[in-house]
Structure 1
Amino acid sequence: MMHAGRNRNVFVVNVFRDGPGGGNPAPIVLDASEMTVTAMRELAAQYKHESAFVLPGRDGCDVSLRFFVPNHEMEMCGHATLGTVWLLKHLGLLPEPELTIATLSGIVTARITEEGPAISQPAGRCTLVDEPAAILDVLGLYKSDLEGLPVMNAATSRTKTLVPVRSRAVLDSIAPDFSGIAEVCDAIGSTGLYPFAIVDRAAATLAARQFPRSSGYPEDAATGIAATALASGLRQLGVTTSTRVTVHQGEAMGRPSKITVTFRGDQCWLSGHVELLEGQVK
């Protein structure tokens, strides 16, 4: 990984950590107004993580954000947005009480809560996947591995494919054919496969893993936008009516992470722990 000293404008935060080695790092460039798209993607490739770039506000928003993974630009990245909001607060640059952020997927509202930063997501939408055989095949799963729920495409910002498995043991044992994931995702209009298991239905606690379509790395330790899609999809199915859903991710990778999704009416809020890994915060 590059060291922050090579670019004092880059901070690296870690988001959603739930134990030693956990969380999902995100490099953040606080002033990217002079950077080209190529430079943004190259920085993401150097750090090998989703990266956020802060730009002047548009559409009446306080700031704009662009997001890149090593292979391409993304419309929205939940953990990088949370990390940016936390960093702006830490530096005394966050207007109170809320911050509006323009992204390619729409306007996001951010606020600081007792649990840390939280960002809004629109109402979720989901559709059933009629023929999930190719999805199961690329994940190395059988129909007998599934929970009695449908495979669905769900989204608040980016479409993720929710694959319900019957136990945490099945979830942890998944060993995908990574070479086939992009083709399967393209065929169903998805940006990643998100197998999950219900850990505690009454407490709305879930475990999940994310295998992105084509980000430049095979698995993601904590995916906020997938967690909001999952929570929204399960509410629409009536699996849970809880206003607070907890998703554990990354444990199969040795990077334990915890994502919290809270509902207020149809709108959901994404939140989680943030800490600084690299950079000078005075």
Structure 2
Amino acid sequence: MPFSPADVHVVDVFADGPGGGNPAPIALDARAMTDGEMQEVARHFGHESAFVIAPPEGAGCDLGLRFWVPNHEMPMCGHATVGAVWLLDRLGRLPSEDLRIWTASGIVEAVVTGTGEARQVAISQPRGVVEPLPKESEAEILSVLGIPPGDLAPMPIRNAATSRVKTLIPLASVALLDGLRPDLSRMESLCEAIGSTGIYPYAASDGSGQRYDARQFPKSSGYPEDAATGIAAAALAFGLLAQGQVTPERPVIVRQGRAMGRPSRIEVRFREEAGRVSGCWLGGAGRVA
């Protein structure tokens, strides 16, 4: 029997007020679904979708997750993972508040905290890798974004990744960020050329408070912009840490989605082991759409 979209729950993840958050369609029992059926769900809803499956035998995990966007499968999706755990918890279907989750990009830990409507989910990400881009890439990036060099903040454009590579572009103000009108027809070829899965321009809204605004333009997901991108927020936190813009003792708060009318808030907390940053916790709340 074909899988029905009626069997899918939609969760708004990382919402920061009414109408906010990134919608995540969640299929709670996708063990028998084919790849084509999963992609059909993602295309039907038009968003990154999560599919709860049994973990591989011997993985030592509580559950498994697969992720699809309309155009292809992804190895990991931060906001859809948070949404799936939040929904399973809300329905009383989690074995505990501390979980190990199998994904194609590796095992992810999840922790559920709080009570009642204040329940929050945080998921683990490994230590980020931050790399410079060739200076000659800057002109094409600025051309696609439609901005002059003077709109940049005095920091380098870099690629950064915890699970997927994002290109971090520092802008001089939140107003410039909000006003971006990129040439979306060139986004995929740009990302291909610089080895990225999405362009992530950002600006400090309160640098001393470690608060930043950002927007995400994906390479080829099947939609033009994301309302909240946990994996990109984690990459940004490590990019800022590498530049000495943030300290690991306090969380980094990333606001996203406001330009789309879907305000979102993502919290990134660094994890330390033996005095060294070893990864991060990526967290927030969900809400039934």
Aligned-residue offset at 1:97:
3.4
Deviations 1:49-72 (A, max 9, x none): 100001101222111110000000
Corresponding residue to 1:231 among 228, 237, 248: 237
Distance (Å, rounded) in 1 between the aligned partners of 2:255 and 2:111: 23
Report the residue type matching 1:81 in the other structure. T
CA distance in 2, matches of 1:109, 1:20: 29
Mark the runs of 5 or more structure 2 residues left unpaired by the alignment.
273-277
Equivalent position SS for 2:288: strand
Give the drift of 1:133. 1.3
CA apart distance, 1:156: 0.6
Where structure 1 has 5 or more consecutive residues not aligned to the other structure, the ranges are 1-5, 278-282
For 1:173 and 1:7, the matched residues in 2 are separated by: 35
SS in 1 for 2:209: coil
Say what the alpha-carbon RMSD is for the aligned residues: 1.1
Shift of 1:9: 3.0
Counterpart of 1:102 in structure 2 is 102
Contact 2:97 2:113 in 1 (8 A): no
1:273 aligns with 2:285: yes
For 2:199, which of 193, 196, 210 is the aligned residue? 193
User: Post-superposition shift, 1:124?
Assistant: 0.5
* Residues 113-262 of structure 1: pairs in structure 2 closer than 5 A: 113-114=113-114, 116-130=120-134, 131=136, 132-242=138-248, 243-262=250-269
- 1:37-56 residue pairs with structure 2 within 5 A? 37-56=35-54
Q: 1:107 aligns to what SS in structure 2?
A: strand
For each residue in 1:161-211, what CA deviation from the matched residue of structure 2 results, as whole angstroms up to 9, or x when unmatched?
A: 000000001101110000000000001110000000011111100000000
Q: Which structure 2 residues correspond to residues 79-98 of structure 1 after superposition, within 5 A?
A: 79-98=79-98
Paired residue secondary structure (2:208): coil
TM superposition shift of 1:20: 2.1
Is the contact between residue 100 and residue 107 of structure 2 (CA under 8 Å) also seen in structure 1?
yes
Q: Distance in 2 between matches of 1:97 and 1:179?
A: 43
Q: Per the alignment, in what secondary structure is the counterpart of residue 26 of structure 1?
A: strand
- How many angstroms apart in 2 are the aligned matches of 1:140 and 1:104? 35
- Following TM superposition, by how much is the alpha carbon of 1:273 offset from its aligned partner in structure 2, in angstroms? 1.8
Does the 8 Å contact 2:5/2:41 carry over to 1?
A: no
Q: Percent identity?
A: 57
SS in 2 for 1:42: helix
Runs of 4+ off more than 6 Å: none
Shift of residue 8, structure 1, vs aligned partner: 4.8
TM-score (normalised: structure 1) = 0.94
Contact 2:15 2:285 in 1 (8 A): yes
Which AA in structure 1 matches 2:198? Answer: G
